[in-house]
Amino acid sequence: MRLHSGKPDYILALMVFLMCLFGLVMISSASIVTSQERFGNNFYYVTHQVLSLVIGLIAMVVGYLMDYRIWKKISLTLFLASLVLLLAVFMPVIGQSFGGAQRWISIGGQLFQPSELVKLTFIIYFASWLEKKGEGVRDFSAGFLPFIVLIIILGFLIMSQPDLGTLSVIAMTAVVIFFLAGARYTHLGIATVGALILFGVLVKTAPYRMQRFLVFLNPGEQIQGAAYHINQALIAVGSGGLWGLGFGQSKQKYLYLPQPHIDSVFAIIAEELGFIRAGVVVLAFVFLGYRGYKIAKNAPDNFARYLSIGITAWIVLQAFINISAMLNAVPLTGIPLPFISYGGSSLIITLFAVGILLNISKYSRPEEA
């Protein structure tokens, strides 16, 4: 099929770039104490994030320049390769563990988190699979069962690390794509009930998850232990008020709030910039979701539609899970805030995905009046 090439979504590209710059600014503030304590350098983390951003922007350009249909041809190979990388985290020498989690591999002295790559390769493969299935996605044996088996296999590998936050993002993204591809409501209902049962089993069988869940229900019951992180995050958010304490004036980053530049960066944003400006960050992700929805709506074919809605859902869902966790609206999870949290693997892979999204936008059909 020959496609008419037009202009990409420059507004989306600009929005993502500005969010990345904002992320650098907030990392420079949120990490300054931890950076000085661990490395004797106030700007260790932000310097590394700048390097990751440069690599990520190059990846975004590469993703934009490559015709999105290429990914359909190699979708299975990419997905299988990423599953191999998930297994590689358990291999001696290259597999690395931190804080009881086995989620990283060391490549040339640099840490890489395969689960970040799996988010993208799964969406690419799933979009290709759904396009091939067509109306077959509504069939129980031909559509629903293979979907469940795929999620179970992926879930087993990710939970072996363990990483419930990443699995939640992937599973919810998959449901969004599956729903928009025409899946039956009854099948989605079965999947939802099954997911809730599985969530209960995972929480019940891991004491630290049970503690997090109990803390989520009543964070004020204890100050230390499992409730320490969320209580410090809530103190940061509450201290900010409407307009914040001022940039760089956070108190919680002084070794009170764990991971202030990674998973907890939104709490520092709320503390230093206040509720109003932290709300702008939320609106930025809402706007990003709207631009992604428009790209999906006007996509030239089903693969492009499923791929673009998958990338958009992944980024927006992950953002709102991270933000909700800092507000104790959901149990605390260890996933980064896209474009803003510190983390090379997450930033580079997410920017590459945005590049693919921009490439699809270039071939979008004109909107009907």
**Each residue's pLDDT tens digit, 201-255:** 877 777 777 777 777 777 766 666 677 888 888 899 999 899 999 998 999 999 8
Per-residue pLDDT for 2 more than 80? no
State the pLDDT at residue 69.
94
Specify if 19 maps to a domain: yes
> Which domain does 174 fall in, by range?
10-362
The arithmetic mean of pLDDT across residues 186-214, rounded, is 81
Round the average pLDDT of the chain to a whole number and report it: 88
Specify if 111 maps to a domain: yes
Computed on alpha carbons and rounded to an integer, the radius of gyration of the chain in Å comes to: 20
Specify if 41 maps to a domain: yes
Q: Which of 166, 54, 164, 64 is nearest to 120 (CA)?
A: 166
Query: Virtual CA dihedral for 42, 47, 49, 52, nearest 10 degrees?
Result: -160
Specify if 367 maps to a domain: no
Cα 75 to Cα 73: distance, rounded to the nearest angstrom: 6
How sure is the predictor about 317, in pLDDT bands with cuts at 50, 70 and 90? very high
DSSP, res 261: T
Q: What is the pLDDT of residues 114-162, one digit of tens each?
A: 888 999 999 999 999 999 988 888 888 888 999 999 998 888 888 887 8
Specify if 225 maps to a domain: yes
State the pLDDT at residue 205.
76
The arithmetic mean of pLDDT across residues 57-81, rounded, is 95
More confident residue, 82 or 212: 82
Per-residue pLDDT for 1 more than 60? no
Specify if 5 maps to a domain: no
State the pLDDT at residue 368.
43
Cα 128 to Cα 10: distance, rounded to the nearest angstrom: 26
Global pTM reads: 0.92
Per-residue pLDDT for 99 more than 70? no
- With H, G, I as helix, E, B as strand and everything else as coil, classify residue 330: coil
Specify if 4 maps to a domain: no
Cα 128 to Cα 70: distance, rounded to the nearest angstrom: 11
State the pLDDT at residue 227.
78
Specify if 17 maps to a domain: yes
Per-residue pLDDT for 3 more than 70? no
Q: Which of 86, 105, 84 is nearest to 157 (CA)?
A: 86
The arithmetic mean of pLDDT across residues 273-281, rounded, is 94
**CB-based contacts of 185, cutoff 8 Å, min separation 6:** none
Cα 62 to Cα 54: distance, rounded to the nearest angstrom: 13
Number of structural domains found in the chain: 1
DSSP 3-45: -------HHHHHHHHHHHHHHHHHHHHHTHHHHHHHHS-TTHH
